[in-house]
């Protein structure tokens, strides 16, 4: 089995395996290693160990030497050159009017090339930009488009918890995160509540998921019915943080029980639980007579209204002509005029001719 040593090139960056090349290295030492892009200065984060051949993805690159004071001084000078390269690239981006946001500029240790990291909504044609920047810096130029997660890792910041972002402190990679993880952790399913500075789901949902998964294995499932104090009870909530289970009894009372007391609990069918909707009162007696309900007599139906006039003649019809309204020739609705009073004092009406 080959010997490998873990090297990291930036804080909270990915750990790469290199061959120690017969050197005795300890954790925290600065070393010069050979990479695909040339020599780089890195830090030992994992001590020398044996690994099986099946875990090797490619041929191991060697560690050249332990970094000297001159190597560290050269590395610091590269940092000052990166600021100038960043300003030059930003100026050229503005001249070309490219829709891209420059994030970082990084020189290789031997200054043979400079790498620019940028973010953009879509693909950007930066061929002209590369030629202009290379003519000013007189070195090889590479541009890498990164996503929002890598942008947050390079820029840094603080999360909703008040601490520095996990991706720029101790996480070395990004794993897949799903809404199911938030559901398993009993979070309110609102992405705005558990989204990070990058706009994606919080990274802590991923590396805390295993803890919640193991904790739920020792707790009853929410919604299940269990036997508690010789009576069925329904599981309403499971609090993993305080190791507490909330139960609902048949008299609609919520009881908080430590999860360790429910390890060997008996699980019942869901139809075995029902609430006592009519609890017995103190003054009620089983043999007390029931009140007599009096039957209300039914009222006779109201007779239907009768009309001597046909339905078609009950309503007036109007013929609209401009702003005037005229009645149709209908004798049923002709106005009547009073006649002379009779001998008994009554007045008879007659139709108008």
CA–CA distance, 107 with 76 (Å, rounded to integer)? 11
> Residue 317, Cα to own-chain centre: how many angstroms?
66
- Within 8 A by CB and 6+ apart from 326, the residues are 318, 319
What's domain 218-272's architecture?
Roll (2.30)
Fold for 74-146, please state it: GMP Synthetase; Chain A, domain 3 (3.30.300)
Strands 140-145 and 15-18, sheet pairing: unpaired
Instruction: Convert 67-84 to b/e letters by CB count within 10 Å (16 or more is b).
Output: beeebeeebeebeeebee
pLDDT score at 81: 92
Q: Where are the alpha helices (DSSP H) in the chain?
A: 69-96, 127-137, 148-155, 179-184, 204-207, 209-217
pLDDT score at 338: 56
DSSP one-letter code for 201: B
Question: Residue 211: which H helix or E strand, with range?
Answer: helix 209-217
DSSP 3-state of 213: helix
Boundaries of every domain in the chain:
3-67, 74-146, 179-214, 218-272
pLDDT score at 345: 58
- Within 8 A by CB and 6+ apart from 323, the residues are none
Tallying the residues shown for the chain, one arrives at 353
> What is the chain's pLDDT, residue by residue, as a tens digit (353 residues)?
788 888 888 765 778 888 888 888 888 889 998 888 778 888 898 888 888 877 777 788 888 899 999 999 999 999 889 999 999 999 999 999 999 999 999 998 888 889 999 999 888 888 899 999 999 999 999 999 998 888 888 888 888 888 888 888 877 778 888 888 888 787 777 777 788 888 888 888 888 888 888 888 888 888 888 888 888 888 888 888 888 888 888 888 888 888 888 877 888 888 877 777 655 555 554 554 555 455 555 566 666 655 554 555 544 544 544 444 444 444 555 555 555 556 665 655 555 55
Q: Name beta bridge partners: 39.
A: 34
pTM exceeds 0.85? no
Q: For residue 231, how many other CB atoms are within 10 A of its CB?
A: 10
């Amino acid at each position: 089995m080959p010997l490998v040593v873990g090297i990291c090139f930036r804080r909270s960056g990915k750990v790469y395996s290199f061959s120690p090349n017969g050197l005795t290295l300890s954790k925290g030492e600065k070393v010069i290693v050979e990479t695909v892009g040339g020599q780089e200065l890195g830090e030992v984060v994992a001590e020398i160990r044996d690994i099986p051949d099946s875990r090797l993805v490619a041929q191991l690159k060697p560690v050249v030497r332990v970094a000297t004071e001159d190597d560290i001084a050269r590395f610091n000078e590269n940092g000052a050159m990166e600021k100038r390269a960043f300003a030059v690239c930003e100026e050229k981006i503005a001249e070309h009017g490219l829709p891209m946001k420059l994030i970082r500029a990084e020189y290789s240790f031997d200054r043979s090339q400079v790498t620019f990291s940028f973010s953009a909504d879509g693909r950007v044609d930066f061929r002209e930009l590369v030629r202009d920047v290379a003519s000013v810096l007189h070195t090889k130029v590479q541009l890498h488009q990164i996503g929002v997660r890598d942008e947050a890792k390079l820029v840094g910041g603080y999360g909703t918890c008040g601490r520095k972002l996990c991706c720029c402190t101790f996480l070395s990679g990004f794993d897949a995160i799903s809404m199911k993880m938030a559901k398993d952790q009993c979070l309110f399913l609102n992405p705005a509540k558990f989204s990070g500075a990058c706009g994606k789901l919080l990274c802590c949902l991923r590396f805390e998921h295993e803890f919640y998964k193991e904790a739920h294995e020792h707790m009853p499932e929410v919604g299940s019915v269990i036997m508690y104090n010789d009576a069925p009870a329904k599981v309403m909530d499971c609090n993993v943080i305080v190791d507490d289970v909330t139960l609902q009894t048949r008299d609609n009372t919520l009881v908080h029980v430590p999860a360790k007391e429910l390890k060997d609990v008996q699980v019942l069918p869901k139809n075995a639980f029902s609430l006592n909707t009519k609890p017995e009162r103190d003054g009620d007696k089983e043999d007390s007579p029931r009140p007599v309900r009096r039957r209300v007599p039914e009222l006779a139906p109201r007779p239907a209204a009768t009309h001597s006039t046909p339905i078609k003649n009950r309503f007036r019809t109007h013929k609209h002509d401009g702003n005037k309204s005229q009645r149709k020739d209908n004798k049923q609705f002709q106005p009547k005029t009073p006649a002379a009073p009779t001998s008994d004092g009554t007045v008879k009406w007659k139709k108008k001719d």
